Amino acid sequence: MVPNMEIVRQDENTDEVYYVKFSEETVAKIAEKFMRELRNKNTNVLHQNDLPADTYVMETWLVETEEDKAKTKYGFNVPIGTWMVKMRVTNPKVWKLIKEGRLKGLSIEGSFIDKTEIEDYERSKILKQIIEILSQD
């Protein structure tokens, strides 16, 4: 999970497309919550339940320096604050898709924030900006 990267989502009820992004601080909290709740088997293929991922998290860490092993060992050029997850794939079908390059990654499952909460947050930010503008001399 890369901080401040826009992630496309689609509302299940309206099919409306929208974007979410998480700050570095929020990514760290999500990573901690994932581990605290022992969700290391809660993974799926692109948020789909029709093909079980059959994976488990072997290792998880936050990138803290430019010399992090995410870059030096695994070749990922990601910013500081990125949550890295190393998984073991036990499903032969999923592993084959990965080896063929048809599947580039897996998803973790978690309860984060829903669209309504995001919209409420955005409205509160806009309201704060309006109040600041009106408060200026």
Q: Distance between CA 91 and CA 55 in Å, rounded?
A: 7
User: In tens digits, what is the pLDDT along the chain, a chain of 137 residues?
Assistant: 999 999 888 877 888 888 888 899 999 998 998 888 887 777 767 656 556 678 888 999 999 999 999 999 999 999 999 999 998 999 898 899 889 998 877 777 665 555 555 566 667 777 777 777 777 76
Residue 70 zone, left/alpha/beta (φ > 0; ψ -120 to 50; rest): alpha
Report the residue count for the chain.
137
Are 2 and 78 in contact, with CB atoms under 8 Å apart? yes
How far apart are the C-alpha atoms of 39 and 94, rounded to whole Å? 20
What does the block give as tokens for 21? 């992004």
pTM, entire model: 0.69
